[in-house]
Amino acid sequence: MGKSRKILHMDMDYFFAQIEERENPQFKGNPLVVGADPKKGKGRGVVSTCNYEARKYGIKSGMPISRSYKLAPEAIFLPVNMSLYKKVSDSVFRVASKISPEMEKVSLDEAYIDITKKVKNYREAEGVGKKLKREILKKEKLTCSIGVSKNKMMAKIACELAKPDGIKVVPPGQVTGVIDGMDLETVPGIGPKTKKLLKEVLKKENPKIKDALSLSKEELMDLLGKRGGEFYHKFRGIDDSSVVEKRKAKSIGKEHTFQKDTRDSKEIIKVFKSLVGDVYRQAKDKRVKGITVVCRYEDFETHTKQISFETRMRSKELFYKKSVPLLLKFLMQSNKKLRLIGFRVMIK
DNA sequence: AAGTTCTTATTAC
DNA sequence: CTAACGGTAATAAGAACTT
């Protein structure tokens, strides 16, 4: 007893949209979409977050904004106000880190907290989770959901089950029962492509986690490489990854999608230089290992060109000199118009 | 043959 | 009718190139 870890996963409910509702209470009860400008259904971006009323229309995060507009033209569409969300996020994490400093931020609205040293059992862990929910609500007037279990994967799955505005504790003895009947994509790291491969190997239309238990570790590794070995354990509710407090960035980059696909090299270079300038601001004085230039053509085909070299990011000029020729190669290699360009520096 | 660099694919939020 | 699809970052795998 007391051998297992106690990991808590906190996820803010429909974060960006909930903040907008808080700022504009008249929006509550109406479908609300935060994301790109829909421009009468012609916008190019995607939905960042939407509230539950919007979800009733089939709108979801990551969906093209044009499609969400067709589903609910009467919805309220708001632009992303990132500096506000960042401020709220910092405040929420300040509250959360009082629970335990062993906290890993996953994004602006999600974190894992290792509370193994703070509680004796899962009953106490549930109390800690409820307290955190209360404190976030008091401080920021926002709700979140919380999952608690013996590892990060199970805490995240529990949190998913708790949404919205709930808490779910999955003690070790219940882990298998909880995940057995779930979809393969419930396992973090399994997306549409991996699911398809597993579906083929299992010869089943709608395989569940319990079906995947028939695959040996070797079979999974042959099919999916290193990740396959991890999935073998994850299917069994095992995840030994630790809660990591500070992950330092390994790269910093910026991308831009044009309003309209273009081959106008004047415009392309102008935008590109501003991307490099933005990256320079963020990566100033960092030790750089190399750069990557990205280009997406009008047909969505995406390519990268990369150069390795070590330097300290002191001026923009060297980076222009190294990267602009790579960008121009994309224009020379093909007659297609460009949809997106990007610049990234690898650091360390 | 080994080590490094470059490119693509996949995933997540 | 089909396609529609941002921005940022990590990680893995394999190809291509160097030493």
Q: Which residue has the tokens 């695959």?
A: A215
For residue range A101-142, list pLDDT tens digits in order: 999 999 999 999 999 999 999 999 999 999 999 999 999 999
Residue type, A82: M
Q: Quick one: A173 and A188 in the same domain?
A: no
Residue A216 has pLDDT above 90, yes or no: yes
Q: Give the Cα separation of A237 and A187 in Å (integer).
A: 9
Q: Is residue A263 part of a domain?
A: yes
Mean pLDDT of the A196-211 span: 95
Q: Quick one: A164 and A309 in the same domain?
A: no
Q: Is residue A265 part of a domain?
A: yes
Could you count the other beta carbons within 10 Å of the beta carbon of residue A288?
Answer: 22
Q: Is residue A299 part of a domain?
A: yes
Domain that holds residue A172: 1-178
| DSSP structure class, residue A342 | E
Give the total number of structural domains in chain A: 3
Read off the tokens for A317. 């000029």
Give nucleotides in strand C with any atom < 7 A to a protein C-beta. 3-14
For residue range A16-26, list pLDDT tens digits in order: 999 999 999 99
**Largest interatomic CA distance in chain A:** 67
pLDDT of res. A42:
86
Residue A318 has pLDDT above 70, yes or no: yes
The residues near A308 (Cβ < 8 Å, ≥ 6 apart) are A289, A290, A346
Mean pLDDT of the A220-244 span: 96
Q: Quick one: A125 and A97 in the same domain?
A: yes
A59 φ/ψ angles, rounded to the nearest 5 degrees? -80, 140
Q: Give the Cα separation of A338 and A260 in Å (integer).
A: 9
Distance in angstroms: CA A286, C1' C7: 22
Percent share of chain A, pLDDT over 70: 99
**Residue A1 pLDDT grade (very low, low, confident, very high; cuts 50, 70, 90):** low
Q: Quick one: A30 and A48 in the same domain?
A: yes
Q: Quick one: A72 and A13 in the same domain?
A: yes
Q: Quick one: A127 and A157 in the same domain?
A: yes
Residue A2 has pLDDT above 70, yes or no: no
Vertex A45 angle, CA A42 and A51, to 5°? 100
Q: Is residue A285 part of a domain?
A: yes
In three-state secondary structure terms, A233 is helix
Q: Quick one: A166 and A259 in the same domain?
A: no
Q: Quick one: A43 and A152 in the same domain?
A: yes
Q: Quick one: A97 and A69 in the same domain?
A: yes
Q: Quick one: A136 and A209 in the same domain?
A: no
Read off the tokens for A244. 């990591």
| Residue ending a domain, choose from A169, A201, A234 | A234
Distance in angstroms: CA A17, C1' C18: 52
**Residue A3 pLDDT grade (very low, low, confident, very high; cuts 50, 70, 90):** confident
Distance in angstroms: CA A59, C1' C5: 14
Q: Quick one: A193 and A310 in the same domain?
A: no
A113 φ/ψ angles, rounded to the nearest 5 degrees? -130, 125
Residues (26-45, chain A) with CB within 7 Å of strand C atoms: 36, 44-45
Residues (34-93, chain A) with CB within 7 Å of strand C atoms: 36, 44-46, 48, 61-62, 64, 66-67
In three-state secondary structure terms, A12 is strand
The edge-to-edge listing of strands for the beta sheet with A103-107 is: A103-107, A110-114, A7-12, A144-149, A167-169
